[in-house]
Structure formats: C-alpha cells, structure tokens
Amino acid sequence: MEHLSVAQAQQCIFQYANKLGIETVGLEQSLGRVLAMDVRANRDQPPYDVSAMDGYALRNADLAQIPATLVVIEDIKAGDMPVKTVGAGQCARIMTGAPVPQGADAVIRVEDTEIAPDDHVQINRTVKHGNDIRRLGENMRNGEVVLAAGTEITPGVIGILATVKCAQLQVYCRPRVAILSTGNELEGMDEPVDPNKIPDSNSYALMAQLQALGIAPAMLGIARDDPAELAEHLQRGLEFDVLLVSGGSSVGVHDYVRPTIEALGVQMKFWRVAMKPGHPLAFGVLQRSRDITSKAVEVDAVQGARNTATKAYLADRQGSEYRATQQCPTSTGLFFGLPGNPVSSMVCFEEFVAPALRRMMGHARLYRRTVQARLGHDVKHKPGRTEFVRVMLKNEQGSYLASSTGTQSSGVSLSMARADGLVVVPAESIGMTKGERVTVQLLDGTVFQDDVGFNE
Ligand code: AMP
Ligand code: MG
C-alpha cells in the first residue's frame, strides 16, 4: 500500500465520517453543539420603535430654534406602554428600550438637555428625524431564519436562541469515542512507578483532545502486546462509534493491532501517510449489522475502565447524558490506529481524528484555523513527507513570529506541550529559511494572549 498525502488520507476518512443523528438538548447544555434545525424569530425584535437612549422623545419640528423649551407630558420607563401622544411643544421623558410614543419622531439623550421649572425641559441641541430610535424589527423580523442549521452554538448564538425563546433545541449527536493504549512497556496511572516502564500518557492527552472538542471519551486502559488480550480490548472498543488505539500499529513483530482488528471485521483503508511526525497511521471501518443499545455499550465501558475515577465518571454518565442520544453505535464504526509516540499520536489526532469527529458532529468548520507567520529560524526538510513543526508564536507588530519549541523528535512530548501551533512544511519543500512566510495551524490555548494587543 502506498503512502497517502495528508489531504488524501483526510478525504478517505471523510467518506466514512458522516453526520450523526439528532437529539434534543436544553439551551443550558448546548454550548459548542451544532444546530440541526433552522431557528426562526418568534416575533419582531424590537416589537415596536424603542428609544436607544435615556432622554426625551420629541418632535424634530420643535427644534427649529435652539435652545428649545418643551413641556414633559409623560414619563415612559422600559416595560411601560405610553398613553399620551406628543404634540407641538411637548415631549415625553423616556428610558432606553421604552416604546417611542405616538407623535414623537426623534429621541434626544438626557446629556443634551437641562431640566426647567414646572415640568419643562430645555433642549440644547438639534437632532435629526429618527435620532436614537431603534426601529421595529431592526434586530429581527418575525418568521425570519436567524440561525441556520449547521450553526455552531457560541455564547452569541445562545443569546439569540434565548431571544427567540428556544429553550429546547435539536443538535447533532456527539460520537461515542473509546481510547485504548497498547504496549507491554506501559504503566497505568494507578500502577506504582516502575523505572523500566513508560507511563501511559497518550490515553490522557487523547482524552483531553477529545474533551476540547466537547466529547467525553471512555478510557479503556492498556492492552498488552498479546493477540488474545488485545482482541478482547479491541472488541470492547469496537462497540463505540469511534475507537482510538495508540501504539502497536507499526511494522514491529509485536505490533499486533492491525491484524487483530482486521480479524474482528475492520476493513483497513490505509495505514501509511506521508507525514512527519505521524506515519504510520492506520484507519479502518467496521460495517455493523447488529444493533446495540447505548446503555449496553456504556456498561461495557465502565467494566472495561481500569482506573477507578474513570469508572465512576462513566457510571455517572450512564444515567444522564447518553440515554437520550441517538441509537449507538453508528452503522459504520471508525478505527484509528495512532502512532505510539506521544507527539505523533497528538498530531495525528489533530490532522485526522478531530476533523472527522467535527464532521460527525455537524460542524462546517472542520480544520484548525491557519495563520501566516514569519519563521524565526531555518527549518531543514528532506522532500517526501509533509512535516508539522511545533512552534511558539509571538505577536510582532501585527504579524506572528514562529519559533520551534525545541527538539522535534516525536518522543519529546514537552515540545508539544509548549506549542502554540504547527508550522506546515509542504512535502516537496527542500527546507525553509529564517524570515520566510509560513502557514501555521493554531492549537488549543491560542485564543488568548498576554497583552491587550490593540491601541485605543
Ligand atoms: P509503538 O507505536 O507501539 O511502536 O510505540 C512507539 C513508542 O511510543 C514507544 O517508544 C512507546 O513506548 C511509546 N508509546 C506507546 N504508547 C504510549 C502511550 N500510551 N503513552 C506514552 N508513550 C507511548
Ligand atoms: Mg508498542
């Protein structure tokens, strides 16, 4: 099997990573989900012409001479309906958001007025017709689609959903994902420290990458490099929509993951991608015929979890969130055999697993945001594989400076922990030079910065 490019591998995965079913969630639980329905305004907003300021509603025609003195005929608070009509020489005191009374055609803010004796007010400035009036339906018109299906639910979107009184909404389901680490050398979190072993960090880094996408995974623990033990764990993992296995997919004699999972019915689509770090990455699909209820899968995950905290967590979730979700697992199960090296595992997750999961959750934006940066130093590169270089980014007068986080060996996980992003070195590049413009994929933790970043 030849090596696929990153894009070819992504396209191959997308053929099988289809949008999941739809479930109903409460507004309070919907942040980060994707709307599976169009949302329409349920009334005009604002429902009538309202004042944009605390001030006076008046007739522009009365301001021919400035200052002008008008009689205040009514006091309209937000939530009140005016009862009087503003006539010549009259005005109404009005608060922000209160309905503009009949007869008035402009609002003047209180700062441009002075109180005068006997319920009068002096107007010190002229204003145009319509000044500081928010027109009926200016924000939204009754029946208009204000949010289309496919919209990601952000805090701003939640504000709109609340405006149209959408307390329950239909969103795409989240995939149920299981994580399994493999390797005789691995030491679990609840095992004593053994100097000859390697702590299983991949399970947790992958867990966090999933959590950052809004998915709470099942942690299936560690399987030894033994075909029978592996088969048992893989079988359990294949009852989820997506199974992530780290390690054991390479070409070593003890890399049993691929043959074992193929024996369990997974059809391998590819297992080599021309990238660095990252190859080998295996991807396969399981076409399912039987139906398993989501509850059965959850129970299984609880039993399978090694760590007591994970067990408690999964058990807790059984009763709540997942009972309401779509029929699980999906008819096509996805298997990702990620490289064992901690950096490779994380980079492969970013490039392949995350876009696939986002596609399943109904997102239109599948990829990490990319920005342009200047390289802070040369980058060596041998043509052949697309390389992802871990970098820190510094703001530099409106642009970014990208500098390596240190040694780029795929075993050095601190270089990933420090990274703001990944510089993409195209496969055919013969190396990049200091100062060159490069494309950087932003990683989690880059939405915020140290300084305020703007001048006022
Ligand atoms: P493998 O892909 O199984 O050949 O593993 C490659 C390297 O990654 C080995 O040095 C492993 O010790 C390391 N590795 C594999 N799995 C994990 C894991 N779950 N956590 C940390 N390192 C791992
Ligand atoms: Mg291994």
Separation CA 376–CA 404 (nearest Å): 8
Handedness of CA 290, 230, 237, 341 (dihedral sign): negative
Asked whether 99 and 50 are in contact (CB, 8 A), the reply is yes
pLDDT the model gives residue 61: 96
Any residues with CB less than 8 A from the CB of 417 and at least 6 apart, and which? none
Q: What is the pLDDT of residue 452?
A: 87
Q: How far is the CA of 442 from the centre of ligand 2 (A)?
A: 29
Which ligand is closest in space to the CA of residue 181? 1
pTM: 0.87
For residue 163, the SS3 value is helix
The CB-side HSE value for 268 (13 A sphere, CA atoms) comes to 17
User: Does 280 sit in the ligand 1 pocket, CB within 6 Å?
Assistant: no
Q: Which ligand is nearest to the CA of 204?
A: 1
Instruction: Give me the chain's average pLDDT, please.
Output: 91
pLDDT in tens, 11-66: 999 999 999 999 999 999 999 999 999 999 999 999 999 999 999 999 999 999 99
Place of tokens 């060996």: 409
- By residue count, the chain amounts to 456
The predicted pLDDT at position 251 comes to 75
Question: What are 194-240's pLDDT values in tens digits?
Answer: 999 999 999 999 999 999 999 999 999 999 999 999 999 999 999 99
127-144 tens-digit pLDDT = 999 999 999 999 999 999
Interatomic CA distance for residues 249 and 254, integer angstroms: 9
**Locus of tokens 């299981």:** 178
Query: Residue 348: CB partners within 8 Å, gap ≥ 6?
Result: 278, 281, 336, 338, 339
Cβ-based burial of 198 (10 A; exposed 0-12, middle 13-18, buried ≥19): middle
Sorted by sequence, the CB contacts under 8 Å of residue 117 that are 6+ apart come out as none
Closest ligand to residue 200's CA: 1
Whole-angstrom Cα distance, residue 360 to residue 363? 8
Is the CB–ligand 1 distance for residue 435 below 6 Å? no
**Using an 8 Å Cβ cutoff, are 75 and 93 in contact?**
yes
Q: Which amino acid is at 41?
A: A
pLDDT above 50 for 110: yes
**Mutational test site, ligand 1, from 202, 206, 416, max ligand atoms within 8 Å of CB:** 202
294 CB less than 6 Å from ligand 1?
no
